[in-house]
């Protein structure tokens, strides 16, 4: 049985993938984001332009849908607490309200593992509850608050579920692959703490599958949050090296101690704030910690409850990345606004 689904944030890598997957199986997809999304034109989807905090636009887009997949969010480190709060907390409440008014029965929220990460190494942990007080940075705190709202809204007839994909990457990815390649090209790429930390990543197609699985299994997994990854954690250095190789760039040879990176991040954040720059600083305290601390996750519960498994292995993913061609083409076709993208920084 086909469904009518509202998808927010369709111009992001994950959003576009979800749009294609749902459309491809015959669901009727309505997309909502601020600027026209390439995927909407490509698939001929109904598109509503507007901000997720714009109740009228959201209500318009949500009219008559059976389910909502809420991907849109503000990511990165640039912006004030209020800006993150507006888009991620107020925006999510707006979409939740519209979904309930429209009579949707299922609500999938794309969240981030950082909502429960206070900075310590995470080795094989399951999804802990989101914690806005202990999470680091405006992004994680606002996503944590939003996730709590979403899961609290879970009720009979309105199944809500949160999916936290960890470090999405793939051809066309501006966040992880794009930044690494950018820096490699300009000779500014260095590892933190030797790149020893073991981290999970998620090939974009697997994240798409997981979101679709959450939508389909919302009856089983409702009220819960799930971390999603490839289940193949690797040291940061290896991931960076393989991304570089897949993109024809030389892997980094330099490494800076974690403390230096952290201090550098603090300086960069201050400079960027003073200069009111809207791009991301090259290093942030959050990033320094993320790059130097293990974070990989127990995937047993998510696989059991959602009946989902990653289809694309790391090896296959890197092969596809290489086959997709050099980074230059990828980035020219993708808009790089700091405001809307999927997943996590």
Partner 1 sequence: MSLPPPGLAGLEARWSREVSATDTAGHLRTWHVLDSHVGLADDAPEPVGTLLCVHGNPSWSYLWRRLVAAPPEGWRVVAVDHLDMGFSDRTGTVRPLAQRIDDLDTLTDALGLTGPGSSGWVVPVAHDWGGPIALGWSLRHVDRLAGVVLSNTAVHQPEEATAPTVIRAARLPGVLPTMTSRTRMFIRSALFLSRPIPPREVRDGYYAPYADTSRRHAIQDFVADIPLEDGAISAEPLDAIADGLGALADVPVLLAWGPRDPVFSDLYLRDLLGRMPHADVHRYERSSHFVPEDAPTYAADVARWVRTRSLRADAATPRREAPTSAATERPLWAGISERAADPAAADRAAVTDLGPDGVTATVTWAELDRRTAEIAAGLASIGVTPGTRVALLVPPGADLTAALYGLWRASAVAVVVDAGLGVRGMRTALRSAGPAYVLGVAKGLAAAKVMATGAEPIAVGPLSATARKALGVRWSLAELERRGAEAPAPAAPTGDAPAVVAFTSGATGPAKGVLYLHRQLQAQREALAALYAITPDDRLVAAFGPFALFGAALGIPSAVPDMDLTSPRTLTARALGDAAAAVDATLVFASPAALTNLVATASDVSAPGAAALARVRLLLSTGAPVPAELLHDARRLLPAAEAHAPYGMTEVLPVADIDLAGLDDAGLGNGVCVGRPVPGVELAIAPLDVEGVAGAPAEPEPEVTGEVCVRADHVKERYDRLWVTDDAATPGPGWHRTGDVGHVDADGRLWFEGRLLHVVVTAQGPVTPVGIERRVEGLPGVARAAAVGVGPAGTAQVVVVVETLGDGSGRGLAPATLRDAVRRVVAEGEPKAEVAAVLTIDRLPVDIRHNSKIDRVAVGRWAQRVLDGRRPGRP
Catalytic residue list? 139
Residue 226 near residue 301 (C-beta atoms within 8 A): yes
Q: Which of 165, 249, 152 is nearest to 203 (CA)?
A: 165
Question: What is the C-alpha to C-alpha distance for residues 119 and 293, in angstroms, rounded to an integer?
Answer: 8
DSSP β-ladder status, 202-203 and 168-169: parallel
User: Is residue 293 involved in binding partner 1 (CB under 8 A)?
Assistant: yes
User: Is residue 119 involved in binding partner 1 (CB under 8 A)?
Assistant: no
Q: Which is nearer to partner 1, 94 or 230 (CB)?
A: 230
Choose, by CB under 8 A, the member of 298, 305, 324, 334 that binds partner 1. Answer: 298
Rounded to the nearest whole angstrom, what is the least distance from the CB of residue 322 to partner 1 in the complex? 16
Rounded to the nearest whole angstrom, what is the least distance from the CB of residue 310 to partner 1 in the complex? 12
**What part of residues 222-251 is at the interface with partner 1 (CB under 8 A)?**
231-235, 237-238, 241
Q: How many CB atoms lie within 10 A of CB 1?
A: 5
Q: Collect all residues with Cβ–Cβ distance below 8 Å to 152 and sequence separation of at least 6.
A: none
- Residue written as token pair 């793939």: 170
Structural Rg of the chain based on CA atoms: 19
The residue length of the chain stands at: 345
User: Is residue 317 involved in binding partner 1 (CB under 8 A)?
Assistant: no
Residue 191 near residue 252 (C-beta atoms within 8 A): yes
Give how far Cα 126 sits from Cα of 108, 130, 212, 309, Å.
19, 12, 20, 16
User: Is residue 196 involved in binding partner 1 (CB under 8 A)?
Assistant: yes
Rounded to the nearest whole angstrom, what is the least distance from the CB of residue 325 to partner 1 in the complex? 23
What angle do the packed helices 55-62 and 91-102 form, to 10 degrees? 40
Q: Which is nearer to partner 1, 272 or 296 (CB)?
A: 296
User: Is residue 258 involved in binding partner 1 (CB under 8 A)?
Assistant: yes
Q: Which is nearer to partner 1, 92 or 290 (CB)?
A: 290
Rounded to the nearest whole angstrom, what is the least distance from the CB of residue 258 to partner 1 in the complex? 7
Rounded to the nearest whole angstrom, what is the least distance from the CB of residue 294 to partner 1 in the complex? 4
Q: Which is nearer to partner 1, 9 or 233 (CB)?
A: 233
User: Is residue 198 involved in binding partner 1 (CB under 8 A)?
Assistant: yes
User: Is residue 307 involved in binding partner 1 (CB under 8 A)?
Assistant: no
User: Is residue 265 involved in binding partner 1 (CB under 8 A)?
Assistant: no
Residue 103 DSSP code: T
Q: Where are the alpha helices (DSSP H) in 186-333?
A: 204-216, 218-221, 236-246, 258-275, 285-292, 300-306, 314-323, 327-332
Q: Which is nearer to partner 1, 124 or 325 (CB)?
A: 124
User: Is residue 124 involved in binding partner 1 (CB under 8 A)?
Assistant: yes
Which residues of this protein are in contact with partner 1, per CB under 8 A? Answer: 121, 123-124, 193-198, 231-235, 237-238, 241, 258, 292-294, 296, 298-300
């Amino acid at each position: 049985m086909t469904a009518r689904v509202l998808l927010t944030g369709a111009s992001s890598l994950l959003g576009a993938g979800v749009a294609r997957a749902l459309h491809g199986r015959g669901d009727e997809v309505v997309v909502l984001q601020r600027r026209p999304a390439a995927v909407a034109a490509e698939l001929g989807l109904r598109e509503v332009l507007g901000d997720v905090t714009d109740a009228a636009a959201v209500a318009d887009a949500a009219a008559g849908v059976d389910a909502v997949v809420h991907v849109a969010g503000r990511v990165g480190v640039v912006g004030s607490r209020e800006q993150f709060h507006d888009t991620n907390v107020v925006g999510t409440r707006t979409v939740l309200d519209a979904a309930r008014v429209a009579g949707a029965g299922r609500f999938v929220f794309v969240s981030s593992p950082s909502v429960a990460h206070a900075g310590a190494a995470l080795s094989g942990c399951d999804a802990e509850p989101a914690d806005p007080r202990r999470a680091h940075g405006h992004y994680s705190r606002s996503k944590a608050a939003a996730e709590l709202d979403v899961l609290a809204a879970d009720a009979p007839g309105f199944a809500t579920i949160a999916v936290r994909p960890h470090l999405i990457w793939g051809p066309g990815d501006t966040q992880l692959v794009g930044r690494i390649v950018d820096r490699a090209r300009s000779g500014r790429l260095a590892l933190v703490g030797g790149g020893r930390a073991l981290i999970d990543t998620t090939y974009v197609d697997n994240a798409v599958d997981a979101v679709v699985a959450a939508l389909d299994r919302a009856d089983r997994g409702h009220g819960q949050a799930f971390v999603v990854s490839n289940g193949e954690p690797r040291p940061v250095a290896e991931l960076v090296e393989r991304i570089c190789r897949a993109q024809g760039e030389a892997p980094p040879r330099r490494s800076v101690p974690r403390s230096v990176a952290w201090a550098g991040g603090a300086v960069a954040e201050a400079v960027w704030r003073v200069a009111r720059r809207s791009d991301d600083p090259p290093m942030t305290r959050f990033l320094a910690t993320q790059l130097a601390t293990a974070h990989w996750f127990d995937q047993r519960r998510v696989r059991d409850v959602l009946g989902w498994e990653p289809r694309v292995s790391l090896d296959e993913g890197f092969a596809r990345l290489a086959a997709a061609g050099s980074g230059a083409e990828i980035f020219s076709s993708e808009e790089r606004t700091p405001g809307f993208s999927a997943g996590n920084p």
